[in-house]
Amino acid sequence: MQRRVLLLSALAAPVLPLAAPALAQAWPSRPIRIFVPFGLGGSADVGARALQEPLSAALGQPVVVENRPGAGAVIGTDVVAKAAADGHTLLLMSNTHTANETLLPNRPYQLMRDFAPVAAVNIARHALVVHPSVPANSVSELIALLRANPGRYDYASSGPGTPYHIAGEVFLSMAGVQAQHIPFRGSNEARTALVAGQVPIMFDAIPTVREQVVGGRVRGLATTGPTRNVLMPDLPTVAETLPGYEASIWLGVMAPAGTPEPILGRLNAEINAYLRRPETRDAQSRAGAEPMAMSMAEFDAFLRADIIRQAEYIRLARITPA
């Protein structure tokens, strides 16, 4: 009897260490959905679709992008927060989400409680552009125009709490001027209104608005990075007029809290492998972005620091939480 017990124990012992790898090997068992809580054509949508092919090839399952815009990114984000934590549902998020931790205290989820950080994706800067009818050809002229006409000019954004909204409010605060914020459901809608002259001012993604500038449909005044942008080298930075000003949009991937660590680790490894490819870096550079390969721990720390950073921007801009 003792020999039988010992034999059974010996046979059972190797099973436990294999449990986690076996779980990872069984995943994914069906298509993976990446929810983008923003409209078509914006930076987050483009970033999610860039991940489709490399992740699908690496994981052996289709990767489907689903746009669920609305309520300042809350609608699509909440769908993922309530999804099964099995690695088949992911969120493509941005600094809209870290800003919402302050801006929307009544949202139905908490970012660092209800989600697990997977990987950072990239960071990009904006361009400050105006409709050609606006009598300003530089940042200093725009500031003078707004100062002489307090509250008479509007600026467009892709929605409340988005990086473009924050960029606009921080700009107004640092310049000491006023303009009315007009939120849209996405960057495409806001850009269309700008080109049509319905809203005269906008901070927008450099790759998407550059076409409009080159075509003369809008006028570029400046970019928002610490140095001049390679895609629009003729434009100065906002910081050359307002020292210390900087604005960006960054993207990342998160999963529902409770997703098994082996799955999170595999996703992180595959996304980082894609970001480190020379051709990815070249493509990102042409699109005005920089890849941000990070470990899960590094991305977790980055998110927590950005929640604090966005809260400070919101305080500076005097934006009232909803």
**The pLDDT value given to residue 10:** 41
Average pLDDT over residues 21-42: 84
Q: Where, residue-wise, is CATH 3.40.190.10 in the chain?
A: 125-240
DSSP structure class, residue 237: B
Q: Is 312 helix (H, G, I), strand (E, B) or coil?
A: helix
**The pLDDT value given to residue 25:** 55
Q: Which residues of 23-40 are buried (b: 16+ CB within 10 A; e: fewer)?
A: ebeebbeeebbbbbbbbe
CATH architecture of 31-123+249-317: 3-Layer(aba) Sandwich (3.40)
**Mean per-residue pLDDT over the chain, rounded:** 91
Contacts of 112 (CB under 8 A, 6+ apart): 300, 303, 304, 307
Contacts of 318 (CB under 8 A, 6+ apart): 169, 173
pLDDT in tens, 142-183: 999 999 999 999 999 988 888 999 999 999 999 999 999 999
Superfamily of domain 125-240 in CATH is Periplasmic binding protein-like II (3.40.190.10)
Nearest to 139 by CA among 166, 165, 177: 177
Is pTM, for the whole model, over 0.75?
A: yes
Average pLDDT over residues 21-25: 51
Average pLDDT over residues 23-34: 85
Residue 72 scores a pLDDT above 90: no
Rounded Cα distance between 41 and 193, Å, is 15
Q: Where, residue-wise, is CATH 3.40.190.150 in the chain?
A: 31-123+249-317
